[in-house]
Structure 1
């Protein structure tokens, strides 16, 4: 059928060309006979042009199909890597779980479309119940190393906000997680990060030099002996410590710059410990302690106004 269609199309072009050259020859004075060679040349040229266009369309279509097959193959491979990494994270041995952490981080770098999903899995691991005290039943040997590695991997992806593999715009959900330290120093948070209801029982959680451009929530969190360090951090977004409980430990905002952001300690409870705002600066932002209660807590306010009851 293709050959028949091509033959019919060629015949139509030939007759169109013949009529055109016949009219041109008849208009001459005196009239001239039709040069068949010119008609054949015009027909062949037209057929060649049409064939080139069709060949180009065919090649383009073939390329699209090839690219689609390649994309599906890549997606299938990435999905297999995801399944393997998730299985490693659920393994009984800490060394295998560590390998799963790095595998999932590499997958997040390679799979931009599902990067948030990979991040969610790492965060979900930290939300699994955890006993940091080796003397407590339920403590798992090597678990602390796995968790600290996850925090370290996340921090390493928050250092260069303009990098192609940066995780800065993404969200992090640590709701209800248990932390015994961690280092987010120098990180750039531009999405929503939640430590809602988290427990900080020991160690130091550092946000030193970090830039908070999105929302950072410690709402309802419990700090019992932990040290939270926001030294030299910059707040352009919102940090929520509402309903948080501070029992011992220390939280430092020394030399911190609040530029248009809000730090909210509303309804927080302070029992002992230290809160340090020494040399902090507020430019267009606010620090709120509405309905907070204070009992034996040492405050260093610097140039900030002292809240009522402190």
Structure 2
């Protein structure tokens, strides 16, 4: 049971001021005014009497005049308060009207998104995006609706009964609209920092290029990139969590090139790269954590060429390289921690050729090399630490040919060599380099 002496609780969405009941305020106001008038009358009488000591006594008329003047001032203040109260009520009415209008717009846009005709669905996309810009309090809800549309079952086969004409254009428009709102985190209508849920969505195209992921949770977990071109090029990952874990790349051309990873957490863990082309070339890994741990590289082409690893953690722990081509060529390792530990290389081609290792730590500890071709040829080692400790070399081909060891540390300590080819042909070594050869014959310093 509510207490009648308490103010009326503010109702969410009504935008009404928190006012006391009128039946309680009116008698209280009358009593307050009466008491005030009585007090003012006697106070004015005492004040005027004290100022005219020894003079002509103060008349009742003067006392009344002074009291009325003070009451008039009080009345003016009360009138101003009443006007302010009325303004609050008017603003509440206006806001309720705005809220009703925004709710109606939301309902109409949602209905358009469910329409059979693609043109109407496109109108619904633009209507929902505009509503998100106009309604900051419910912006996340509007964005959730657009993301949910992309998560719905999507048939890409034009001959299938469930195929819908114009559906691809609707989906590409949603992606483009989201991308446009992720360009500048400082604008009043930015969607940066909001949660974006694309879990299990199918992408056969789309442009997220130049997006800024600076907060919130962005989830592409379990998504399928099965055709077309999808671009994340030039994106910035500086906070929050972006999850591509468990995604499948089987036929698309997916471009993450030129992106910057400076904070937060980006996960590709458990993903499958079995076809198509995925590029991280020219990216900068300077902070945060980027994980490909537990992923499978069994086909297609994956490029990290000309990338810079200067901070943070980049993890490929427990990954499987069983086919296709994975290239880290001409990359720079100057800081941070890059780990390929406990990975398996059984076929395919993995290349680190032409890379520069000048700092940080790169780990292949506990990996198994049983097939395929892995190349570190023509690389430069001037600092940092690279470890192949406790690895198993039982097949395939591993080459460090024509590399230069100016400094740093490289270790094969605790590794086992039972087959395959490990080549150190034309290796140039300075005295500053510290090499633990493990099962391989030591090569003396040969370059002053």
Same fold (TM over 0.5): yes
Q: Secondary structure at the match of 1:73?
A: helix
Deviation of 1:40 after TM superposition, in Å, equals 3.5
User: Is 1:207 aligned with 2:264?
Assistant: no
Distance in 2, matches of 1:59 and 1:203, equals 63
The total of aligned residue pairs comes to 307
Q: CA-atom RMSD, angstroms? A: 2.0
Cα separation, 1, equivalents of 2:339 and 2:60: 103
What is the DSSP-based 3-state SS (H/G/I as helix, E as strand, rest coil) of the residue aligned with 1:285? Answer: strand
Q: Which residue of 1 aligns with 2:170?
A: 146
Aligned partner of 1:263 in structure 2 is 290
Whole-angstrom CA distance in 2 between matches of 1:286 and 1:135? 45
**In terms of mean alpha carbon deviation, does 9-18 or 42-51 score higher?**
9-18
Counterparts in 2 of 1:295 and 1:8: CA distance versus 1, 3 Å: closer
1:297 is paired with a residue whose SS is: strand
What are the Cα deviations for residues 43-76 of structure 1, in whole angstroms up to 9, with x where unaligned? 1220111101111211121111111121111111
CA distance in 2, matches of 1:121, 1:251: 29
Q: Aligned to 1:218, which of 236, 239, 244?
A: 244
> What is the CA distance between 1:115 and its match in structure 2?
0.3
Question: In structure 2, which of residues 76, 85, 90 is the aligned counterpart of residue 66 of structure 1?
Answer: 90
Name the CA distance, whole Å, in 2 between partners of 1:119 and 1:8. Answer: 58
Counterpart check, 1:177 vs 2:177: no
Work out whether 1:104 is the aligned partner of 2:131. Answer: no
Q: How far did residue 239 of structure 1 move?
A: 1.6
Q: Distance in 1 between matches of 2:106 and 2:257?
A: 37
- Residues of 1 paired with 2:50 and 2:243: CA distance? 84
Shift of 1:261: 2.1
Greater relative contact order (Cα < 8 A, sep 6+): 1
Aligned to 2:258: 232
1:14 equivalent to 2:38? Answer no
The answer for the alignment partner of 1:281 in structure 2 is: 308
Moved more, 34-43 or 244-253: 34-43
Matches for 1:52-63 after TM superposition, within 5 Å: 52-63=76-87
Query: What is the Cα deviation at residue 240 of structure 1?
Result: 1.0
- Of 199, 213, 218, which aligns to 1:189? 213
Distance 2:114 2:40 in 1: 70
Cα distance, 1:38 vs structure 2? 3.6
Query: Which deviates the most, 117-126 or 56-65?
Result: 56-65
Shift of 1:216: 1.4
Q: Per the alignment, in what secondary structure is the counterpart of residue 115 of structure 1?
A: helix
CA positional deviation for 1:10: 3.8
SS in 1 for 2:326: strand
State the alpha-carbon separation in 2 of the partners of residues 118 and 276 from structure 1. Answer: 36
Residue in 1 that maps onto 2:326: 299
Shift of 1:36: 4.6
User: Which residue matches 2:158?
Assistant: 134
**Which deviates further from its counterpart, 219-228 or 96-105?**
219-228
1:94, CA displacement in angstroms?
0.5
Do the aligned partners of 2:234 and 2:259 also contact (CA within 8 Å) in 1?
yes
The secondary structure found in structure 2 opposite 1:271 is strand
Give yes or no for the alignment of 1:245 onto 2:272. Answer: yes
1:176-219 deviation line (CA, Å, top 9, x unaligned): 11110110111111221111111110011111111112221111
Q: Which residue, 60, 85, 88 being the options, matches 2:112?
A: 88
The residue matched to 1:167 in structure 2 has which SS? coil
Structure 2: unaligned runs, 5 residues or longer? 1-25, 351-448
In 1, Cα distance between the equivalents of 2:34 and 2:224? 81
Quote the offset at 1:252 in angstroms: 0.8
Distance 1:12 1:207, change over 3 A: same
Residue 41 to residue 208, structure 1, CA distance change in 2 (3 Å): same
Question: For residues 12 and 306 of structure 1, what CA distance do their matches in structure 2 show?
Answer: 84
Which residue of 71, 79, 82 maps to 2:103?
Answer: 79
CA distance in 2, matches of 1:4, 1:195: 65
Q: Is the 8 A contact 2:229 2:254 kept in 1?
A: yes
Q: Secondary structure at the match of 2:101?
A: helix
* SS class of match (1:272): strand
